[in-house]
Amino acid sequence: MLSVISKGSRTKNSKHGSLLQPFRSLLISWVGKSDLKTLVTAEDRDNISQLSGSSLYCGFYVNELVLNLLHKHDPHSALFDAYERVVNQLSIESKLEPSLRQFEKHLLDETGYGLVLDHEGNSAKAIQSDMRYVYKLGCGAIAESNTNHPDIIFGSALINLKSNQLTNKTELTQVKRLMRRLIDVQLDGKILKSRDLFI
């Protein structure tokens, strides 16, 4: 990730001003020795669907996660591919929640804070779809008998998160709560403005 400034992009004679839109995939070149580079060329790389409404807000959320959880000049080619996938998926209204949860999982994996989703955190026992768990930071999923625990999550939700098969509304709600807890720890007090757009 790096910062690039485009000079004169708002003028009528700008060569690439119209290309510089949110979520647009571009091939660019730049110059500069400081942290802030200067854009030289830009051209379309791929045709990505434009986002609007709730999809647009979700896109802003994804961008904020990337800006806040990645370090400058730290390349993440696999994460870039995941970013392109989630932007394309967000154009489909029915895939908003599953797409966001999968991107969050991928982001945590890429930054070294991935989830253990195949076995319990305190043993090698496989996650069971019909059991209930609480996911503890730095440990993993722990079997939980108290069905009223505020952070309860079904084993099926963890299994479906791992296999990219989240569709059930209850499971999506549980995974959303889990991801928010995990991401908030990584944000270390930073506030995501995009979350306010959903209120």
Q: Tell me, what CATH number does 16's domain have?
A: 2.40.50.140
Distance CA 40, CA 84 (A): 23
pLDDT tens figures, 117-159:
999 998 889 999 999 999 998 899 999 999 899 999 999 999 9
Residue 73 in any domain: the answer is: no
- Global pTM value: 0.86
Q: What pLDDT was estimated at residue 48? A: 67
Q: Does 13 map to a domain?
A: yes
Helices (H), 35-76: 53-69
Tally of structural domains, the chain: 1
Helix (H, G, I), strand (E, B) or coil at 162: helix
Q: What is the mean pLDDT of the chain?
A: 89
Residue 152 lies inside a defined structural domain of this protein: no
pLDDT in tens, 88-105: 899 887 789 999 999 999
Q: Is residue 32 part of a domain?
A: yes
Q: Is residue 197 part of a domain?
A: no
- Report pLDDT for 40: 86
Does residue 11 fall inside a structural domain? yes
In a domain, 29, yes or no: yes
Q: Give the model's pLDDT for residue 27.
A: 84
The residue segments making up the domain with residue 42 are 1-47
Residue at 193 is within a domain: no
Residue 116, CB-side half-sphere exposure with 13 Å CA sphere: 19
